[in-house]
Structure 1
Amino acid sequence: MSFSVTPIAPLEAARHFIDKIQKPSRLLVAISGGSDSTGLLMALDRVCRDAGRADISLHAVSIDHALRPESGAEARGVAALCTRMGIPHHLRRWDTAKPATGLSAAARLARYALIADVADDIGADMIVVGHTRGDQLETIAMRGARSARQDNLGLAGMADAMLYGGRHWIVRPFLNSTRQDIRDFLSGEGQSWVEDPSNDDMKYERVRTRHLPLLEDRSLMDQSIQRSTLALDAAHFVENAFQSYGHGLVGLPVACLDASSATLRYALSAVACVIGGRRFSMAAQTLDKVVSFAMQSEPGRMTAGRVVFDRRREALYLMRENRDLPAIMIPGGGKAIWDGRMEVANLSGLDMTFRAAGSDMVAADFPASVPAGVVRRVRQTLPVIESHEGPQLAESRPEAVSMRPVLAPYDVFLPRFDYELANRIARLVGRGTYPPAPL
């Protein structure tokens, strides 16, 4: 997402967003009652009415995280505002147990899951959220503080659109609008907003970052790298260079290792996340070692990010390492994610235990060109089901088991930056592609 030279006023940003919608749409606007989300809902409503866009309907959703005593009253206040505006309002409450640590991350995941449920219920085409220019600058500053490397992809900031759960596009029309401009707009409308006390709690990294004078430095905006271009180059590289041998094994011919360093790093990192069943990329220093290892001329093996990188004379092979592989029980008719790599549905009426083949090393077909040692290691990591007949490959029982590859780094949150790359990897591992962004 590139920055505009100057901030964009809220109504102008809303108009730009609405003008890009070329077909009848139902928008679900997330509103907490704070100034950013309240301004977003009011700006979108004003623009739709002024433009006569009766083909666009607005719905609002609020999530009561049940973390503060006043949260229920705030949600009711938002509902009253929506009633006055004639906008349907949907309220959901996070009622499950709260974790002792990682509360902010857990609240974010719960929030998006509850919003997505509402989007499903009403058939929303897009979910619209109120992240602002300030949020973007804070994000870049926080990511920059964690790594000063020039290849820190976090310096690209938040994407203007993100796919959640493989089915709902979340868009951010206000990424170039400032909080102060949004509040000025609300004040001009005679509309108040809720002040969340957590926004001033210095125990949170984002709040501490918000108070740094560094955010006023224009050089922060200049740190944003051209991640979209890099990701697209990596997507083409995956499509043209990587080969799939099935069963979670991919290879990269050594002749393709002369690609540009940045492209090779991006592609290897993304593919390794999928093969290893991990949501987050390996550390930059670890990736340095992987790339250096891959570029060597001698055969060898190294392990990183739950992935074995096996360098042969003809290719670099990537496969899941045979360590910390789970065994899970899935009840009849149930579904679960196994090892972060496979969505498994138990189609039978019986409970089934799924585990890795391990020392059983059940048979699975591979091309004759794949080295025997690579085949042996891959077979150890294949999912099997326990039965009275001994371990059986899960894929050999299609009447009882349905399996679908998981793309761990993309199936929950897929930023628009990586959309093409994710689809190339999906095709590589035999998975359906992701739906395109509506805008």
Structure 2
Amino acid sequence: MTGLPGERNFSLFTGRTTVSREGFQAVMDWLGPWLPDTPDAPPVALAVSGGGDSIALAWLAASWRKRLIAFVVDHGLRPEFADEAASALKTLSELGIPAELLRVRTLPHGPALARRARDARYEVLIEACRRVGAVDLLVAHQADDQVETVAMRKKRGSGVGLSGMAWVSERADIRIVRPLLDYSREALRNTLRQAGLVWCDDPSNENERAERVRVRKQLGSTEKQRLLRQAEIAADERVAQEQAVVDELVKTQCLMSWGWAALGEALPSVDVLAALIRCIGGGDYLPSRAAVEKLREKKIPGTLGGVRLLRGKAGDDRREQWLLIRETAAMEPLVPAGRNLSWDRRFVLRYSGENMPSGLMMGAAGFGLSRKERAGLPAALTATLPALWKEGQLLCVPHLGLGDQKLLAEMSFDFAPASPVTATFLWMNAYLT
């Protein structure tokens, strides 16, 4: 997604040193439409760390609309963050923005701490957005972040990834919006100084053991401008590529909403197949093009990215065709069920009743359903459908209409994968055409 027509990257290219509320309003109008700004409407959520970028986002957003909620996430990595969070919550209160402190209970073990912390942060943010009914989450990535991202991806030869971060993307069923991508870090801090607001700088932002910090300190103004122009070109290429994927999906009508896809007699293009594998597998990233090409060229059943490619009967006419289904061995095991909680990074449990029965677990339906119960679908496919269990007994499989009818009337599983088939085009198509 490229910048505003005639105004892209203005804080870096034209030397503007502050951000006006009127300019921010124009950006938000461009990124809309938005839900009504009324007391009974769901709020727009803000991710606030207490740093200069997110405090600036909060100050600007407070003049844009009233129906907001801010979330401050504590990873538990730095003891001093407690004071920073308290400062952020105080500032948010002064701005008239309701706020909550969220805590990451545990971080997955392993290398790449920054990536694991980011993933955990988004997990708690998305859960909080679902709880309050927010469908939009504003985050404070800005132009310097964009430049650094492009520089790091360029070093790795990331292809269309050189387009950097999108203005609008999706994680599961939440829209991630980055309205500050046209503003420099310094312009945002100048704005805060002008407004008389304080912020807290994370000391890790000066730790040169982190690649991003090293890149930040190496980039000059000319190189930043060149990388931003390169990002704009790459973004246009990404839009064109995702448009082609959407066009092919519409033409073939191969995507299903139950977490699997019927592909027809012929396999789709490599780009479409890769996008479907990421979506159905609940992944954040596309599988390697070489691996997808190899799978496609073999034209035999196989697995890739937590997804199985096989032949089976599906569709209204139950004809034999290629199917993409979740790989059973890769699925998440049984987890406690709860309203708006996700399972397998692909399904969200919706419950309309007042009190959900206790002791319910979410998991795969598994094998053992009769052909009649499976509605003629392959057992390998129905085994991957989301279901509710209790004390080791299968209670219901909503997609098949099986089980306790009262429970089925009050609950459902929405397919909300970690990444949609195209990460940005579904929203961009609605707002830019």
TM-score, structure 1 normalization: 0.70
Match of 2:118 among 86, 108, 114: 108
Contact 1:126 1:170 in 2 (8 A): yes
Letter in 1 for 2:161: G
Cα distance per residue 1:48-72 (max 9 Å; x no partner):
3xxxx7x645655433444323222
Contact 1:335 1:345 in 2 (8 A): yes
- Residue 40 of structure 1 and its aligned partner are, at CA, apart by 2.8
- Residue 132 of structure 1 and its aligned partner are, at CA, apart by 0.6
Pairing 1:31-430 to 2, within 5 Å after superposition: 31-45=48-62, 48=63, 56=66, 60-83=70-93, 85-94=94-103, 96-101=105-110, 102-112=112-122, 115=125, 126-148=136-158, 152-166=159-173, 168-213=174-219, 215-216=223-224, 218-219=226-227, 221-223=229-231, 224-226=234-236, 227-243=238-254, 250-254=261-265, 257=268, 264-294=269-299, 300-310=300-310, 315-321=321-327, 323-324=329-330, 328=334, 339-340=344-345, 342=347, 357-358=366-367, 360=368, 362-363=370-371, 364-366=374-376, 375=378, 377-378=380-381, 394=397, 395=400, 396-399=402-405, 404=413, 406-410=415-419, 415-419=423-427
Q: 1:385 to 1:16 in 2, by over 3 A?
A: closer
Q: CA RMSD of the aligned region, Å?
A: 4.5
Contact 1:75 1:91 in 2 (8 A): no
Distance 1:30 1:339 in 2: 24
Contact 1:92 1:114 in 2 (8 A): no
Cα distance per residue 1:117-160 (max 9 Å; x no partner):
66567776744332111111222222333334xxx332222121
Q: 1:127 to 1:328 in 2, by over 3 A?
A: closer
Distance 1:238 1:77 in 2: 48
Matching of residue 14 in structure 1 with residue 24 in structure 2: yes
Contact 2:73 2:104 in 1 (8 A): no
Distance 1:319 1:124 in 2: 30
Larger deviation, residues 346-355 vs 278-287: 346-355
Larger deviation, residues 24-33 vs 69-78: 24-33
Cα distance per residue 1:321-350 (max 9 Å; x no partner):
45455653757x889755555556897767
TM-score, structure 2 normalization: 0.70
SS in 2 for 1:131: coil
Letter in 2 for 1:306: G
SS in 1 for 2:10: coil
- Residue 178 of structure 1 and its aligned partner are, at CA, apart by 0.8
Q: 1:108 to 1:247 in 2, by over 3 A?
A: closer
Letter in 2 for 1:303: T
Q: 1:388 to 1:2 in 2, by over 3 A?
A: closer
5+ residue gaps, structure 2: 313-318
Q: 1:44 to 1:196 in 2, by over 3 A?
A: same
5+ residue gaps, structure 1: 258-263, 295-299, 368-374, 422-435
Contact 2:143 2:180 in 1 (8 A): yes
Distance 1:174 1:284 in 2: 32
Distance 2:126 2:83 in 1: 23
Q: 1:96 to 1:284 in 2, by over 3 A?
A: same
Distance 2:388 2:140 in 1: 46
Distance 1:326 1:106 in 2: 18
SS in 2 for 1:270: helix
Q: 1:285 to 1:414 in 2, by over 3 A?
A: closer
**Rg (Cα) greater in structure:** 1
Distance 2:204 2:52 in 1: 14
Give percent identity, aligned residues only: 24
Distance 1:393 1:195 in 2: 50
Letter in 2 for 1:17: V
Contact 1:247 1:378 in 2 (8 A): no
- Residue 88 of structure 1 and its aligned partner are, at CA, apart by 3.3
Contact 1:13 1:173 in 2 (8 A): no
- Residue 106 of structure 1 and its aligned partner are, at CA, apart by 4.2
